[in-house]
Amino acid sequence: MNSPVRSFRAVGGEPFFARRAAGATLWDADGRPYIDYVCSWGALPLGHAHPRVEAALREAVGEGTSFGVPNPREVGLGERIRSAFPSIEKLRMTSSGTEACMTAIRLARGFTGREKILKFAGCYHGHSDSLLVKAGSGALTHGEPDSAGVPRAVAELTLVLPWNDPFAARELFAREGERIAAVILEPVPANAGLLPPRPGFLEEVRELCTEHEALLIFDEVITGFRLGMGGAQERFGIRPDLTILGKIVGGGLPAAALGGRAEILDRLAPDGDVYHAGTLSGNPLAMAAGLAQIEEMERTDAHKRLEQLGAFLESEIRMLLSRRGEKKVQVQRVSSLFCLFFTDRPVISLQEALESDRKRFARFFHSLLQQGIFFPPSPFETCFLSTAHSEQDLEKTVAAIARALEESQ
């Protein structure tokens, strides 16, 4: 497994390998189809193998796969991103969200002259050393590494708070505000299940950052272009200082971007003193695929369709739960993102997610897989809808959920 989240034991004892995909369907190496709610972990809001994206790739690959110098497609995608996100005045392309987040942290430290970073438990920002820390007991945890190989001295510069707790944030800033370079967060955390922000929480964090002259970094690798053309910051009306984009901007190919205020981005090399480089940054194939996907989303008003599909599926699942008298299943959704937690109350933090019934979720997941429905294999991931999903796909999924609920008891 080249990424840990892919590692699970499928029905029959081994994980399945994908052979091909089209629309909302994934076929494994044995030819078995699955209705796919992973969608390459959110990178494919139009579904697999979209004709316009494929056409853009065929044209681009005929001109060369990598140049090592600037190409017009990276400028085209950059301009499209900038027009959708008013907070982004300048941007830098990277090859992954992890790389973009790592660069954003270095840039924030270089710009502010401060060293400490604040993140929230349950928000995932890739696997760079500064961001692989977790929250322990209490409101504040200083530097507990989440992985072997992360130096404690690095981890100690990262502060972690519980998500959706404005009181803890205010208390921390009162003590540490002058030493915090940046706050990095997923505006809608989608790597611990789905944890929608409480009303006013994001606004509170924005105010604290402004008051203490710390940078606010929105990690919109998942939400960017998915919750609207302007991402979560458009949906919630909040302007961050820096934004991380990924997944959708590559159209299914490896690509991400870091953007924000011009005065901050100007500190990046070669003009500034904060170093970042990447041989494949702005790769012409990824730029072509990403631009084609984003333009198609705008042309077809894809966000309206995604919202309709999400609302329909949520309504159907809730009616099913009501008919069954299920009191220990929570449906959480924001637009085309959704998840199910096996617990008796809404989940608003990582700690509550950890307290859900993970063993029942595992039984639920495998029952769905047997029925040809592919959900993420962990309760700490999020399901993704695409415009390629049909109402018939969703109805079949709800029927499979009914059986999986029964079999997972």
Which are the catalytic amino acids?
124, 219, 247
Residues 6 or more apart in contact with residue 229 via CB below 8 angstroms: 84, 297, 298, 303
Cα of 206 vs its chain's centroid, Å: 20
Tokens linked to 212: 């203490």
Q: Which residues of 237-261 are buried (b: 16+ CB within 10 A; e: fewer)?
A: ebebbbbbbbbbbbbbbbbbbbbbb
Q: Nearest 5 degrees, angle CA 361-CA 125-CA 34?
A: 40
What phi-psi label fits residue 400: left (phi over 0), alpha (psi between -120 and 50 degrees) or beta?
Answer: alpha
Distance CA 77, CA 200 (A): 32
Q: Pick from 132, 173, 148, 190: which is nearest to 376 by CA?
A: 190
